[in-house]
Structure 1
Amino acid sequence: MTTHRLRGLADSEPAARPRPAHRVARRRPQVRDLPPAGHNVVQLLGPPSERQLTGRLNAILEVLGGRRAAAQVQNLVDPALFARLLTHSRLPSTRHRIGTLHLCQPTDLALEAATTIRSGPRVLALAARFKRTRTGWVCTRFHLLAPRLGPARAVPVRPSAA
């Protein structure tokens, strides 16, 4: 039978050292990587979550309802949509609830959202488009589709000749 015995280290033999943790070399930012002066850049990992999109749509709806200043959503929308929000007629100031959000990403740089809005007894449709920019995702299109006002017209049906 074989016997095993541990031997001690000799005086000249170095002890085994633990291996250092893996380090990732970080590249220093170059001048071309930096944004223009006065611009903030967020890390663009991917599209915003449904919760973030619902919050942005809710903020735009509050601007349209007059419960929020338009300047608060200026960095969330593109300049053309911001100008439209400033001149747009106000919605009735009833509370609204955003329904389930339906998302579609036709390209890596675009995201489209559709949902329903409950505003009192009315139900409205909402369609929005978000675009990825250097400073984050901004809303470029925002369409609130209201039902037609007025009585519905009946289409006359002609009897078939038989």
Structure 2
Amino acid sequence: MLTPLTWYEPYRELGRLLSGGRRPPARPRNRRSGPDGPPLPLAHVRSVVNALLEVRTGRRSVTHVQGWTGLRLQAQLVVQPPLRIARPQLRGIRGCVVPPSSYEVAATVATATRVYAVAARFDLLDDTWRCTVFDVIAPR
């Protein structure tokens, strides 16, 4: 499970040094989502991202994810050649609300030899959450 990002360690005491020894004001705590929680259940996001990953690796047809994707992403998935990733497994997944009507997701995908990053964006289109951006970022 991924933990929230923290400030880089050497900068932890920098505020006190710059303020002449006084304690700097406390920084606000990170909120993972709004008071009502994320707009999409993370289990649903995980299943959509997993299905899109299967489409990108050639294990599933694009028609299986039509109801979950926007038209532009569907067209991209049809044209793009399948990725050569052997048996990918979706590991960690995180989501972030981007006001007013978007939800961005970052995930990690592991194989036997490599780890890949996945970025996705869900937008509220016609009162339905649809994935409009999906990218598997391969290591160089």
Superposition TM-score, scaled by structure 1 size? 0.60
Is residue 115 of structure 2 the alignment partner of residue 123 of structure 1?
Answer: yes
Alignment of structure 1 residues 130-145 onto 2, 5 Å? 130-145=122-137
**1:51 maps to which residue?**
43
**2:95 maps to which residue?**
103
Mapped to 2, the partners of 1:84 and 1:104 lie a distance apart of 24
Mapped to 1, the partners of 2:94 and 2:58 lie a distance apart of 26
Mapped to 2, the partners of 1:63 and 1:103 lie a distance apart of 21
**2:60 maps to which residue?**
68
Q: CA deviation at 1:116?
A: 0.8
The question of whether the paired residues in 2 share the 8 Å contact of 1:132 and 1:138 is answered with yes
The question of whether the paired residues in 1 share the 8 Å contact of 2:106 and 2:120 is answered with yes
**Secondary structure, aligned partner of 2:110:** strand
Q: CA deviation at 1:101?
A: 1.1
Runs of 4+ more than 2 Å apart: none
Q: Which has a greater percent of helix? A: 2
Could you tell me the percent identity over the aligned residues? Answer: 33
**1:112 maps to which residue?**
104
**1:23 maps to which residue?**
none
The question of whether the paired residues in 2 share the 8 Å contact of 1:129 and 1:140 is answered with yes
Q: Tell me which amino acid in the other structure corresponds to 1:51.
A: A
Runs of 5+ consecutive residues of structure 2 not aligned to the other structure: 1-37
**1:147 maps to which residue?**
139
- What RMSD, in angstroms, separates the aligned Cα atoms of the two structures? 1.4
**1:90 maps to which residue?**
82
The question of whether the paired residues in 1 share the 8 Å contact of 2:95 and 2:104 is answered with yes
Alignment of structure 1 residues 34-45 onto 2, 5 Å? none
**Secondary structure, aligned partner of 1:99:** strand
The question of whether the paired residues in 2 share the 8 Å contact of 1:66 and 1:93 is answered with no
Mark the structure with the bigger radius of gyration.
1
**Secondary structure, aligned partner of 2:75:** helix
1:55-109: CA deviation from partner (whole Å, max 9, x where unpaired): 0000011111111111111111111110110011111252111122111101141
Runs of 5+ consecutive residues of structure 1 not aligned to the other structure: 1-45, 149-162
